[in-house]
Amino acid sequence: MTDAAVADTAEEIEEGWGPLDGLPGNPMMWILILGEMLVFAILLAGFSIARALHPAEFAASQAHLDPLLAGLATIALVTSGWLAARALHSVRRGGTGRPQLAAAMLIGSSFLVLKGIEYGREFASGIGIETDTFFTLYFLITGFHALHVVMGIIVLAIVAWRNNAENIETGTAFWHMVDLVWILIFPTLYLLR
Amino acid sequence: MRGIDLAWFALVALTLLSLGTSGVAGALSPALILAVAAAKAITVLRWFLEIGEASRGWRLLLDVYVVAICATIAGIFVIAGQFAAAG
């Protein structure tokens, strides 16, 4: 294959994502992001339907949750998302983006600490995943999300190491999805009463 | 102050507002809580994810995603509440 043919093939591969090419970051990441957004939408709709079927049980169990602690966790996550966005702005202006990403990871980790405190309180009260339908769904949704937070922090660490603009755009896109999904989980599980 | 800084400030303020609103009784409360959540999610899409720079189709799809989830959750919550009150 000639150099020109190799270049053409590479160009075709680069432009082979169709509509996904129009999104910020690597299109592969967007396949994951869109898939995860769909999964969480189904989980939240399922939770809402289960609550409609068992309103008294859900209201009694929800009373054990601490909305203030979850609110603090929300503020931690949006602050971490803001720092991640600032990292991208920094690298576009010739910076490394590393201080902002390190701060985003640190504050993102505080979300996990708050989640640990919340779970710890529940376990100490004898509440577990098998307590009732509410807590099964609560631990499933929040636990699955917390797993995404862990994955997101790892992704941020990778893009801080390989800190070109495309990598940071891709990594922070995943982190913002984690942020966005929590913004929808927070009112559904903790605030609607 | 840049756009993303204002977006962060708005997200924190809206989180505090939704915490305050959750204690308010009445039929408007769930709609307000979920409207605030939708506003926050769209703020993240616009300012952090920079979806405003994507094509119109993607902007529309992601906005519809947020609004559809919030409307579905609010709708189920309100309808279930009315059934419970009637029963």
B54: nearest CB among A23, A52, A188: A23
CB contact under 8 A, B73 and A192: yes
* B9: closest chain A residue by CA: A79
Q: ipTM of the predicted structure?
A: 0.92
pLDDT in tens, A13-59: 555 777 777 788 888 999 999 999 999 999 999 999 999 999 999 99
Provide the domain limits for residue A85. 26-191
State the amino acid at position A148 in one-letter form: H
For residue A167, being part of any structural domain is answered with yes
In order, the DSSP letters of A138-179 are HHHHHHHHHHHHHHHHHHHHHHHHS--HHHHHHHHHHHHHHH
CB < 8 Å to A82, chain B: 4-5, 7-8, 11, 48
Calpha distance A11→A23 (Å, rounded): 18
Q: What is the dihedral of CA A115, B32, A136, A175, to 10 degrees?
A: -50
Q: How confident is the model at residue A66 (pLDDT cuts 50, 70, 90)?
A: very high
Question: For the domain that residue A184 is a member of, what is the CATH number?
Answer: 1.20.120.80
pLDDT in tens, A121-150: 999 999 999 999 999 999 999 999 999 999
What is the domain count for chain A? 1
For residue A150, being part of any structural domain is answered with yes
